Amino acid sequence: MGKKSVERNARLEQLRRDQKRKERRRALLIYGTSGFAAVALLLGIVLYTVADSHAKNKTREVGYVAAASSAATAAGCTGTVNDASKGSSHVSTTVDYKVSPPSSGSHNPDPLPDGIPFYNPASGIPVERAVHNLEHGFVVGWYDKSLPAAQVEKLRSIAADAGPRFIGVPWTRGAFPDGKHFVLTAWDRTQRCSTVSADVISDFVAKHANPSIEGATWDSPTAPESGAAGGTPDVSKDGPLTIPANGSDGTSSTAPSPGAGTMSLSPTTPAAAP
């Protein structure tokens, strides 16, 4: 073989080696980049999951305050506060609640009944019964005696359309703190407002009641007995019902009639609810 042929073959062999080297480099670059991207994606997913879990856990911590919406701000409302649990014992006595109003705590064994969305200012509804409703996944909208009459009427109207798990209840144990005269509570959750707002009530009920105002069945995020029914129908919007001692014919009557603040069907000895 001539010298030129040998040199040409050597150059061709070198070109082939160079080409293979370039192809290996390109493959390493492609696979290396893809591998790095996959690792980066996996790391991103892990970091997002951890951060999301941390954020969710933070929103469940006692003392956490969910920011007030624009509607809540306009109504003079605070954000919604995560309250410390005060227990859930059944008692047949008056409870000295340390927070006005309570969002948990000892309560009467018999919650307020289903079907009454609003109780009038002079109804004398026992606070302890309404607290039991909170345990069942209800939302209670408490109003104190300083809430203007027009606002009370507004609340009455809103309550009629706020869904079966909302109750408007008068608070008769003094004024609420900080000039707030209307307070929404769910179990371990509180939002305090200066005025009544349909949007604020709707939002609070949608987040904390069972079922939602749209009628969907879901568990309250906090209530221990979410979805349980109301209690004995021994009250009206005007207060506890009384049973006359005797009918017109001298026999005992069992037909209840509205009372003005006394309860023959005593709130201290009700039929127990879950």
* Structure confidence by residue, pLDDT tens digits, 106-133: 999 999 999 999 999 999 999 999 999 9
Same domain, yes or no: 134 and 49: no
- Would you say residue 21 lies in a domain? yes
Say what the pLDDT of residue 15 is: 72
Same domain, yes or no: 169 and 199: yes
Q: Could you identify the residue written with the tokens 């927070």?
A: 99
Same domain, yes or no: 92 and 29: no
Domain range enclosing 91: 65-258
Same domain, yes or no: 222 and 92: yes
- Would you say residue 263 lies in a domain? no
Write down the pTM of the prediction. Answer: 0.71
Domain count, the chain: 2
Same domain, yes or no: 42 and 96: no
Same domain, yes or no: 132 and 30: no
Q: Which residues does the chain have with pLDDT short of 50?
A: 212-213, 215-216, 244-272
Write the pLDDT tens digit of every residue in 3-24: 667 777 767 777 777 777 777 7
Say what the pLDDT of residue 60 is: 73
* Cα 185 from Cα 202, distance rounded (Å): 13
Residue 203 in contact with residue 68, Cβ under 8 Å?
A: no
Same domain, yes or no: 34 and 161: no
* Cα 122 from Cα 100, distance rounded (Å): 18
